[in-house]
Amino acid sequence: MKKNNFLVLLCIVFYSLLFSCADEKQAQSRANANHGLELYERMCANCHQSDGSGFVKLYPPLKNADYLKQNPKAIFGIIKNGMKGRVIVNGIEFNLVMPANPKLSDKEIEHIVEYVQTRFLSSSE
């Protein structure tokens, strides 16, 4: 009987630890997402727009961009080093210069990447 009580207690402790961990992780990823949103609005939305739709034939879309889907690893380097030259995104040709962002830390870039991927690439809208 005593042993059973101990097991029950152990389970309760285990579960509460598990859930508090999950909570913390969730809070952390929410904080990262907010940070990503804030950076996106400040550093990217001027050109790519808040909704990721891009701007006519000047700035390519990020939302459901086939280019990003086909080159999922490219975005980090694009944000860091900028991009130039001819590129076709969702059937439209773009050929302008995106400036590099030498002041952003790797962590900040990661948060922007996470934001772009969850907001613009995972929805089927």
Please identify which residue in 83, 110, 114, 117 interacts with ligand HEC, judged by CB under 6 A. 83
Question: Binder to ligand HEC among 101, 111, 119, 120 (CB under 6 A)?
Answer: 101
DSSP string, 54-117: -BTTTB---TT-HHHHH-TTHHHHHHHH-EES-EEETTEEE--EEPP-TTS-HHHHHHHHHHHI
- Residue 87: both structure tokens together: 């590129």
Among 30, 92, 99, 118, binds ligand HEC (CB under 6 A): 99
Do residues 99 and 82 touch, judged by C-beta distance below 8 A? yes
Span 63-82, contacts to ligand HEC by CB under 6 A? 65, 67-68, 75, 78-79
Give the interface with ligand HEC as residue ranges (CB under 6 A).
43-44, 46-48, 59-62, 65, 67-68, 75, 78-79, 83-85, 87, 89, 94-96, 98-99, 101, 112, 116
